[in-house]
Amino acid sequence: MLDKNGIAKRIAKEVKDGYYVNLGIGIPTLVANFVRDDINVEFQSENGVLGMGPFPFEGEEDADIINAGKQTITTLNGASFFDSATSFGMIRGKHVDLTILGAMEVSETGDIANWKIPGKMVKGMGGAMDLVASAENIIVAMMHTNRAGESKLLKKCSLPLTGVGCVTKIVTNLAVIEVTPKGFKLLERAPGVSVDEIKEATEGTLIVDGEVPEMTL
């Protein structure tokens, strides 16, 4: 079974040379720590920066340079700043190659819910609806089950949707799963996790095609 860093580490393998990548808040943010350093990748933050770097050294924080999580950041050589309309132009116009975001629920048809729990939590969708409606390469990073132990990979989402039929891949603490027209296809198992355990934790249709390899990190 993977922890949050393990999920981020596995997703980092999906990041290819020359990619512009948008990282959501939470586990997705950790992905930047594990991207191979022999490839060239630029991270986009929806609040208006391309070419995000690591956190600043203490004393060098700049209130005017933050990421979408409102954290102080730095920029790398080749970085640029732009306004919010331009930022979402990059996203809607499919100029960003890969989007990695968290979710509360994903359905076997690729629907995603991650912005609202009616009556309990209403923080807003931020840029998530724009991202999922536009990107063609969306990876969801999340735990396979919620705190109550219920599956987050469902036949149909129960929470208000963020987007319809948009998720292509899911990396959880248990597995790597591809969303196909026939349902969730199991691609890889997390270290030490059996196919049966993944089946048990998946409410939606799980397609197991032959021997499922254990993932390498």
H/E stretch holding 139: strand 138-141
Q: Does 122 bind other proteins (CB under 8 A)?
A: yes
Give the binding-site size for other proteins (rule: CB under 8 A): 53
Q: How far is CA 67 from the centre of its chain?
A: 16
Q: How far is CA 133 from the centre of its chain?
A: 14
Q: Does 129 bind other proteins (CB under 8 A)?
A: yes
Catalytic residue among 14, 42, 46, 188: 46
CA distance 11 to 35: 9
Q: How far is CA 170 from CA 2, 139, 178, 211, in A?
A: 14, 6, 6, 19
Q: Does 82 bind other proteins (CB under 8 A)?
A: yes
Please select the residue that binds other proteins; options are 8, 23, 41, 73, rule is CB under 8 A.
73
Please select the residue that binds other proteins; options are 33, 40, 71, 194, rule is CB under 8 A.
71
Site mask for other proteins (CB under 8 A), range 25-64, x = bound: --------------------xxxxx----xxxxxxxxxxx
Residue with tokens 């924080």: 61
Return the amino acid letter for 7.
Answer: I
Q: Are 21 and 42 in contact (CB under 8 A)?
A: yes
Least Å distance, CB 86 to other proteins, is 9
Q: Does 93 bind other proteins (CB under 8 A)?
A: no
Least Å distance, CB 110 to other proteins, is 11
46 an active-site residue? yes
Task: Measure the CA angle with vertex 90, ends 89 and 92; round to 5°.
Answer: 60
Q: Note the residues at the interface with other proteins (CB under 8 A).
A: 45-49, 54-73, 81-85, 87-88, 91-92, 111, 119, 122-130, 133-134, 160-165
